[in-house]
Amino acid sequence: MNSKSSLAQLATYVGVIAVALSMTAAGLSAVLVAANGKVGEGSPTRTLVQDQIESSRDIRRALATPITVPPLAPITARRAHEVPVAFTQRPTLSPKALNAMAMDQSATIEREPQGTTSAAAHNVRDHLTGAGW
């Protein structure tokens, strides 16, 4: 053997194993303490479904209670300038005048020659279909 005795090698071997076992035991005890702490906080018989049912009942109870809204204060704002009477009253037109306005054709566009379409008469490119000129 080298310069070390077999007793020193055995002591090193046992020491390494003891450190490894103690670290494993410390880790497991920390996990168990944490797990016991969480289980002790809540009731072990409650399930997620029961929690959801209780939450939905709370929501329904809250929605069932009416909300009281205080009435609004009366409107006290005033106009800075008075509006002229001409803007507040609608002019009354005679039936003859209303009929003349309805039959007015002066604002219409001139009719296209027969046999031509709008695109052909104006040579307009159709941007939506990608067609050329």
Q: Is residue 84 part of a domain?
A: no
Helix (H, G, I), strand (E, B) or coil at 44: coil
Using an 8 Å Cβ cutoff, are 118 and 110 in contact?
no
Q: Is residue 96 part of a domain?
A: no
Q: Is residue 121 part of a domain?
A: no
Q: How far apart are CA 103 and CA 105, in angstroms?
A: 6
- Number of domains observed in the structure of the chain: 1
Q: Is residue 22 part of a domain?
A: yes
Q: Is residue 109 part of a domain?
A: no
pLDDT for 5: 84
pLDDT for 128: 65
Q: How far apart are CA 55 and CA 76, in angstroms?
A: 45
Q: Is residue 92 part of a domain?
A: no
DSSP assignment of 74-132 equals PP----SSPPPHHHHSPPP--HHHHHHHHT--TTSPPPPPTT--HHHHHT---TTTT--
Spell out, as residue ranges, where the chain has pLDDT lower than 70: 1-4, 37-44, 104-133
pLDDT for 14: 94
User: What tokens were used for 50?
Assistant: 């029961």
Considering the entire predicted model, what is its pTM? 0.27
Q: Is residue 48 part of a domain?
A: yes
pLDDT for 43: 55
Using an 8 Å Cβ cutoff, are 76 and 84 in contact?
no
Q: Is residue 113 part of a domain?
A: no
